């Protein structure tokens, strides 16, 4: 807002200077006019007769001298008008200021009720320790992508992790990638199946995988506040490709099925 005011003042300064200079020029223009009106005075002096008294009557023709003065009077009235017209310029910033909230990103869903639809997926089972959890998940995604790339099959959706069980040391999981056709020559622990379906609560995590503890803590607090009981399964949908995205730029949907 300060920047807009400075721009407005900068625009007013030259306008004010022009308005102040304009009356001075107009005031000088009439001054030659009276000098021209004085020229008729030699004409009466040329007449020797007393009728020169009548010459004062033509002096009345000098009345045009006031008329230039009268014509000068509108000049001051016109000079304020630019200043008045310039005054609305400070009101221009409000539209720009009102536009600033537009880019603001809306808050991510937190606890939004939604329904998942089952999709055909190629999946691989795995186990992981919490200390190397993300690296293990990345290896699982790499194995699935390698299989699909060799057979020319493109994923039909975002990669997912389904947590089937957890404890203090680690967890078991299913890494899943949606597909429209069945891949062949599946490796050990790989299979074709369906992704989870049904009503869930949707939460969004942004940032590294290591910081997901904070997200899950917030989810737990939300469930406690709402007195909701979740199933033992949690689903993570990776909106950003975990194989190509830096870890601190991850965007992950967390789906919590309820009992």
Compute how many other C-beta atoms are within 10 angstroms of the C-beta atom of residue 246: 9
| CA distances to 10, 206, 208, 240, 254 from 249, in Å | 43, 7, 7, 8, 16
Q: Please tell me the distance from the alpha carbon of residue 236 to that of residue 243, in angstroms, as a whole number.
A: 15
What pLDDT, in 10s, does the model give residues 157-190? 999 999 999 999 999 999 999 999 999 999 989 9
95-104 — which CB contacts under 8 Å span 24+ positions?
Answer: 96/4, 97/1, 97/4
Nearest to residue 171, comparing CAs of 208, 140, 207, 204? 140
Q: Please tell me the distance from the alpha carbon of residue 132 to that of residue 163, in angstroms, as a whole number.
A: 15
Tens digits of pLDDT across the chain (259 residues): 223 223 333 333 333 333 344 344 334 444 444 444 434 444 444 444 444 444 444 444 444 444 444 444 444 444 444 444 444 455 555 555 554 444 445 678 799 999 999 999 999 999 999 999 999 999 999 999 999 999 999 999 999 999 999 999 999 999 999 999 999 999 989 999 999 999 999 999 999 998 999 999 999 999 999 999 999 889 999 999 999 999 899 999 999 999 8
Q: How many residues does the chain have?
A: 259
Helices (H), strands (E): how many in the chain? Answer: 10, 8
All domains of the chain in start order, with CATH: 2-99 (no CATH), 110-257 (3.20.80.10)
Compute how many other C-beta atoms are within 10 angstroms of the C-beta atom of residue 256: 20
């Amino acid at each position: 807002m300060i920047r807009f005011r400075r721009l407005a003042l900068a625009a007013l300064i030259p306008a004010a200077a022009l308005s102040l200079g304009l009356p001075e020029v107009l005031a000088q223009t009439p001054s030659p006019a009276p000098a021209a009106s004085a020229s008729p005075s030699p004409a009466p002096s040329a007449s020797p007769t007393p009728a020169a008294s009548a010459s004062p009557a033509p002096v009345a023709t000098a009345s045009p001298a006031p008329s230039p003065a009268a014509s000068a009077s509108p000049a001051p009235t016109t000079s304020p008008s630019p200043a008045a017209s310039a005054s609305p310029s400070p009101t221009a910033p409000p539209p720009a200021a009102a536009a600033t909230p537009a880019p603001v990103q809306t808050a991510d869903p937190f606890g939004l009720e939604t329904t998942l639809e089952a999709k055909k997926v190629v999946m691989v089972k795995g186990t992981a320790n919490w200390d190397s959890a993300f690296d293990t998940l990345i290896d699982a995604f790499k194995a699935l992508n390698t299989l699909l790339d060799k057979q020319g099959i493109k994923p039909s959706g975002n990669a997912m992790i389904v947590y089937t069980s957890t404890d203090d040391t680690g967890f078991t999981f299913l890494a899943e990638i949606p597909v429209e056709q069945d891949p062949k020559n599946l490796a050990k622990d790989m299979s074709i199946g369906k992704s989870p379906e049904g009503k869930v609560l949707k939460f969004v995590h942004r940032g590294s995988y290591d910081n997901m503890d904070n997200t899950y803590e917030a989810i737990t607090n939300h469930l406690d506040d709402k007195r909701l009981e979740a199933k033992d399964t949690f689903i993570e949908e990776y909106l950003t490709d975990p194989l190509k995205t830096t870890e601190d730029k991850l965007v992950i949907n967390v789906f919590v099925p309820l009992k």
